[in-house]
Structure 1
Amino acid sequence: MARILVIAGDFVEDYEIMVPFQCLLAFGHDVSVVCPNKNSGDTIKTAIHDFEGDQTYTEKPGHNFVLNASFASIKASEFDALLIPGGRAPEYLRLDADVLDMVSHFLSNNKPTAAVCHGAQLLCATGLVEGREISAYPACAPELKACGATYIDINVDQAHTQGNIVSAPAWPAHPQWLAQFEVLLKTI
């Protein structure tokens, strides 16, 4: 069983937090979901992003997700792995120095790290992914390239693992993404 930290925020993608949280618990892991400036029992709003034939995804209101840990009281060093869901949350979470310190801890210590969709924005913001292969939602490709990473362009239902990072373009990749993350978790 691994201790997994999930860093999320308001308007995280609904499926990208709900499904991994429930699956990782079902696998027997201890999963703590935090959000800056919020405590255990507080909620974050989610957004449902769907692919309906438009030039980009559509967005609809999702659920309220109840956090099960307090951001201010956790220490990244107490966790074995990190999961970063996408949605709009990573866009503003990458502005928080404490969030970046946490993400940097996992990358610097070669701990299993899973990022999906716009979650790659947090990886880029650390400055620690130069030369790494990372998939993400295609709109994040310029950002990945600008930070020196190699953007891996794969189908929306696929995932990519290089070293300690498993990444995917969006929630349709959950079966691949979570299976590859579980392989990394078994190496702990």
Structure 2
Amino acid sequence: MAQKKILFLTGDYAEDYETMVPFQMLQMIGHVVHAVCPEKSAGDKIITAIHDFEGDQTYSEKRGHYFVLNASFADVQVASYDALMIAGGRAPEYLRLNPKVIEMVKHFATANKPIAAVCHGIQILTAADVVRGKRLTAYPAVGPEVTIAGGHFEAVNVYEAVTDGNLVTAPAWPAHPQWIAAFLKVLGTKIEL
């Protein structure tokens, strides 16, 4: 398996599972994953949020774990990365306001490099104007943003993912098995059992 270098974008109050699980899983497989957040450096912490589906009209939110970043946002050279992964949660709503984040996302889209985003992480893609003409999914509340940004929103089961070319999206963390498997396929990662 060819090792890939993946840029992982997260931030304060990103969803806990949507940060921890993909970060650890991609490393376990042997990929290099650099977790970054604007205005933070390697060794800095973010605090995550736990979003759960408990039968209410929307998800509930609880304080999550601390997550230690392993790379510095200011040092990122996007051309050196093979792929981009974006965590969901509340972080994307403010991360998309950072011009360098938008510039980074546009690089990956223009270069046709693999991009994986989950839940509200798709808000960063819509802000970067990289979903036009693409089929994708997101947390249902983000669906109108996808449509306004010119994407084709697919309302799928919370356990499903949608792949369109180099773009792999999912509505929330229950889709991790399908979402991460689809991303690995786009990356060209083969796992032999």
TM superposition score normalised by structure 2: 0.96
What one-letter code is carried by the residue in structure 1 that aligns with 2:119? C
- Of 44, 51, 55, 2:53 maps to 51
Aligned to 1:126: 128
How do 1:27-106 and structure 2 match up within 5 A? 27-106=29-108
Aligned-partner Cα distance in 2 for 1:13–1:108: 27
Question: Unaligned regions of 5+ residues in structure 1, if any?
Answer: none
Structure 1 residue 33, shift from structure 2 partner: 0.3
Runs (5+) with no aligned partner, structure 2? none
Aligned position for 2:143:
141
Write the deviation string for residues 27-63 of structure 1: whole angstroms up to 9, x where unpaired. Answer: 1000000000000000001000000000000000000
Amino acid at match of 2:57: Q
Once superposed, which parts of structure 1, at least 4 consecutive aligned residues long, lie more than 6 Å away?
none
Question: SS at 2:97's partner residue?
Answer: coil
What corresponds to 1:163 in structure 2?
165
Q: Once the 2 structures are TM-superposed, how far is the Cα of residue 127 of structure 1 from its aligned partner?
A: 1.2
Deviation at 1:128, TM superposition (A): 2.0
The DSSP-based 3-state class of the residue aligned with 2:30 is coil
Identity level (%):
58
Q: Which amino acid aligns with 2:10?
A: A
Give the length in aligned residue pairs: 187
| Residue equivalent to 1:18 | 20
Letter in 1 for 2:173: W
Find the aligned partners of 1:81 and 1:106 in 2 and give their Cα distance: 7
C-alpha distance in structure 2 between counterparts of 1:134 and 1:120, whole Å: 9
Secondary structure, counterpart of 1:12 in structure 2: coil
Give the whole-Å Cα distance in 2 for the aligned partners of 1:27 and 1:105: 25
Give the SS at the match of 1:23: helix
User: Deviations along 1:60-99, whole A, 9 cap, x unmatched?
Assistant: 0000000000000111111000000100000000000000
One-letter identity of the residue aligned with 2:132: E
Residue by residue, what CA displacement relative to the aligned partner does 1:81-138 show, whole Å, maximum 9, x if unpaired? 0000100000000000000000111111100000000010010011121111110000
Secondary structure (helix, strand or coil) at the match of 2:34 reads strand
